[in-house]
Amino acid sequence: MTFSASGRMPWRNALVSGGAGFLGSHLCERLLAGGVAVDCADNLASGSPRNIAHLEEDKAFRFLPLDISDASCVRELSGPYDLVLHFACPASPADYLRMPLETLDVGSLGTRNMLAVAERDGARLLLASTSEVYGDPLVHPQREDYWGNVNPVGPRSVYDESKRFSEALVTAHAAARGTDAGIVRLFNTYGPRMRAHDGRAVPTFICQALAGEPITVAGDGSQTRSLCYVDDTLDGVLSVAASKSVRPVNIGGSDETTVREIARRIVKLTGSASPIACIDRPVDDPERRRPDTTLVREMFGWEPRVSWEEGLERTIAYFASLPEMPDAPPAGVPARDL
């Protein structure tokens, strides 16, 4: 099943954890457009009220300022829901390095609480996992049956291992209790509502280019990533949500390119004269990243439709339209990931 931006959806009431974040807010918006009533649960640790301000007047939308890692949230989330989208987690390096214990909590306690809500209501639960479960992969491209190459005690481990544990917990509930639950592994999604300097390359490069500051590329920029525009990611997420799939499903772009090339593209599209400056590369930064999307193509007929040029132009336009352009980060502060 595929969904257009305004297509009617098969659910009546949905819960989106982390719904005030970048991806979560887009999900709330898309669900409302599809006729679904939405409860958005977020403690705003990394999300922003600005992301959902335009939804507040919709009577089918409700914002609940809750910490889903706290067991009391299960009572507060009264539902009943027929869809639970678990997207709460600090996803940017700046956030999960600042909140390491909270990141581990939301992947463990938070996931357990979202499973409790889904099981109570007989809802379909979909976990937003990540390409980070593959670590610095030794297999390329990365297929869902690859177990990964993750440093369990490195600086990125609080995020990587949080997601790996979340996947194990969801899989165990599905096997032991028959919970209707699935997993999507998202690769390098970008688009409007990303935070300017949250440590991810696309928004950091855009803000630096618009400010005329040097583009800070980690290392020599030869490491690769595969970008996927937010609208395409949402199509894949909702297709898996509407299925009975339990196994993890990769969702990501096929346009694998170097980080240096991404910087060049952004400089060109912004018309900036910003130079590219190489800085120290972070520990455990993956060398190559591209999803094998055979499974999602064959099972759901999904593939990205928004070109990198169109997606970056939309994202640049968003940042350029902000009433106050954020200052570029100081030179030497790395964009750690995408």
Whole-angstrom Cα distance, residue 83 to residue 86? 10
Distances (CA, A) of 164 to 152, 201, 246: 10, 23, 15
Tell which residue, 301, 306, 291, has the closest CA to residue 129: 291
- Residue 251: what residue type? I
Where in the chain does DSSP place strands (E)?
Answer: 13-17, 37-41, 61-64, 83-86, 124-130, 181-186, 189-190, 215-218, 224-226, 228-229, 248-251, 256-258, 276-279
159 is catalytic: yes
Distances (CA, A) of 201 to 74, 170, 286: 35, 30, 14
Q: What is the largest CA-CA distance in the chain?
A: 57
Whole-angstrom Cα distance, residue 306 to residue 79? 35
Set 159, 190, 229, 318: catalytic member: 159
Residue pair 14/81 in contact (Cβ under 8 Å)? The answer is: yes
The β-bridge relationship of strands 215-218 and 276-279 is parallel
Active site amino acids: 159
